[in-house]
Amino acid sequence: MSCQLPADCLNEIFEYLEKDKVSLHSCLLVNRFWCEISVRILWRNIWTVKPITHGRRRLKVNPSILDTLITCLPNNSKTHLLRKGILNSTQISKIPLFDYPSFCRVLSINEIGQTIIDIFKNQKYLAKEIMKMFMTKTSLKKLSYYTDPNTINLSFIRYPGAKDYLTNLSKLSCSSSIKSTFFHKLSQISLNIHSLTIEFKDMVSDDLKNLISSQNNLKYLSLIQYNNTDWREIIPSLIKHSNTLTKLKIYKRKYCKIEQSSFITRFTNLQELVLLFRYKIYFDELNNKLQYVTFPHLQVLKFPCAHPEDDTLIKFLENNGKSLKEFYIHSSSDSLNLAIAKLCSNLKSLYTLFNHDKIETLKLILNNCQQLESFETHCNPELLSEKVLLGALAKHSPKDFHRLKLTNYLLDSRLVSEDLEEFLINWKNRVPQKPFSFIIRGYAYSLETKETKEKYMLMIEKYKKLGTISKFDISCY
């Protein structure tokens, strides 16, 4: 006699598979009961993510998703589109198994429009009917609305049902150049946006400022600057959220002589700060202020490209380093690395670079940062070699350390299988031993010959079976 798990139990299990689309899709095929539960999770977010810049990621929709959405259109919409010659009789005759749009909690206006353009060659009528359909469904959680060259402009926020559909919106990603009527209407409907990403293009409207001010509990803010747009006028609206904001990310691609970054120091409740500035000169207005500000709750600090002056950053770490759990800085400055060893003893994750003769500085960090679990770095002829790095990690890394990511964009990796196996042998003999996760990226790790690749993989499988390795991932650019 078969035993069927209850729906609540299955739902909890499937929730763990939300990001594993392949496994979740296989659950659809088990039986009708499993299908009814898993389809709701699978359709919650129908977009795949493609990175396009450091600032934001583009959402892409599978063309087959559009076919399914068309089958879900109400009959009056299908008839209207048939008369317009946009759909044919076969398309409007299909009946969906489920009301798929009602499961969607994430919506990208751009990608719906772009997919329609790709397949139907710019059919605004179809986009309008699909958006009308969405506005009648269960409330939305995340909305992405950017102004790209192929964006189909629709006044969807005025469609029947839009108020109920957008009332519970918690995450908004948008361009500043969207028509101000959108921001005006949204500021009256969506008052509990927790996460806001703004991509600055050309203009900043008063209605955008009002939308920011109207939020009750803004926690995450991301500002992306592609040009010289002056965003100073929204700063008072942003500062209103200084008590609730816990995460702040600013991406500056263009240099703007107008001071518009020093407001960062007002957000003293930050837990995460990411400043992705293309060039060091962008920090000129901040250098004097950063060295005096204190963020008592700051746990994550990242400078993926340029960073403040060394003296400024060291002073900042004196005030804030002890609370940091994660620190990311693209620098091989020995004075900064020594400051990390001295001032950031509670780090769990670190990204930094070491010049080829600074192995003692790495050992000092490993000995002083006893909470360290993960380390990322680059290797090339001017930096520490893979062999030296692995040797130091095997002998000096803290007891909970278990993850390493190496990147080499050059074509001359010095990592050979013998050095890697020596490290794995040493790691296997560690007490206590934690299964090791090893990720390597770059041109250098191409494993060009079939024999070389097979030799690596056989060795990796051997140590996976021994429990020494939990994950090994190698990919080439």
Tens digit of pLDDT for each residue in 77-93? 999 989 888 888 888 88
What per-residue confidence (pLDDT) applies to 55? 46
Strand partners, 440: 406, 474
Please choose, from the candidates 275, 214, 270, the residue with its C-alpha nearest in 3D space to the C-alpha of residue 243: 270
Q: Which residues contact 373 (CB under 8 A, 6 or more apart)?
A: 348, 349, 398, 400, 401, 402, 403
Q: Is the pLDDT of residue 187 over 50?
A: yes
What's the predicted TM-score (pTM) here?
A: 0.88
Contact 344, 317 (CB under 8 A): yes
Cα 419 from Cα 387, distance rounded (Å): 6
Across residues 458-476, what is the average pLDDT? 87
Bigger pLDDT: 388 or 442?
Answer: 388
Share of the chain above pLDDT 70, in %: 89
Strands 171-175, 142-145: pairing is: parallel
Domain ranges of the chain: 1-42, 250-265+274-372, 386-477
Span of 28-42, 256-270, 316-330, 339-353 with lowest mean pLDDT: 256-270
Contact 156, 109 (CB under 8 A): yes
Q: Is the pLDDT of residue 54 over 70?
A: no
What per-residue confidence (pLDDT) applies to 412? 63
Cα 4 from Cα 386, distance rounded (Å): 51
pLDDT in tens, 396-428: 999 999 999 998 877 666 677 788 889 999 999
Cα 61 from Cα 45, distance rounded (Å): 10
Span of 93-107, 214-228, 254-268, 299-313 with lowest mean pLDDT: 254-268
Q: Which residues contact 38 (CB under 8 A, 6 or more apart)?
A: 14, 17, 24, 27, 28
53 pLDDT band (50/70/90 cuts)? very low
Contact 284, 256 (CB under 8 A): no
Calculate the alpha carbon distances from 83 to 79, 86, 90, 125 in Å. 6, 8, 14, 11
What per-residue confidence (pLDDT) applies to 254? 67
Beta strands in 279-339 (DSSP E): 300-303, 326-329
Share of the chain above pLDDT 90, in %: 48
Q: Is the pLDDT of residue 476 over 50?
A: yes
Residue with tokens 């969906």: 96
Orientation of helix 180-189 relative to helix 206-213, angle to 10°? 20
End-to-end CA distance of the chain: 53
Question: At residue 93, what is the residue type?
Answer: S
Q: Tell me how many degrees the CA angle 393-397-400 measures, rounded to the nearest 5.
A: 130
